[in-house]
Structure 1
């Protein structure tokens, strides 16, 4: 399970980073895609009991 947990957390980290970059670049399209990816990554992590931090920290 540790491998899955690490992968889920990395997916969340990458999605958060992508969202922050899109916001900094003022790229609305990329921001929308990144927000959807983050929501999905957080949902998957939550569904499998992986603590991924504050879900509202987008």
Structure 2
């Protein structure tokens, strides 16, 4: 499951970065979209027992 887990972690990292950028830009629509993406990515991680805060690149950004 290594490749899948890495892809899920990358999706979470990307969603967190997008949310951070949207918050910085004070763009309410983009905040909502990015938050939905992050919530969905975290649900996938949880459903598959993946710790989204570990693995290659964790904590970067």
- TM-score of the superposition, structure 2-length normalised? 0.85
The RMSD of aligned alpha carbons is 0.5
CA distance in 2, matches of 1:2, 1:51: 12
Asked if 1:40 corresponds to 2:40, the answer is yes
CA distance in 1, matches of 2:37, 2:49: 18
Equivalence for 2:27: 27
State the aligned residue count: 53
- TM-score of the superposition, structure 1-length normalised? 0.89
Higher relative contact order (CA 8 A, sep 6+): 2
> Unmatched 5+ residue regions in structure 1?
54-58
Segments of 4+ moved more than 3 angstroms: none
| Alpha-carbon offset, residue 52 of structure 1 | 1.1
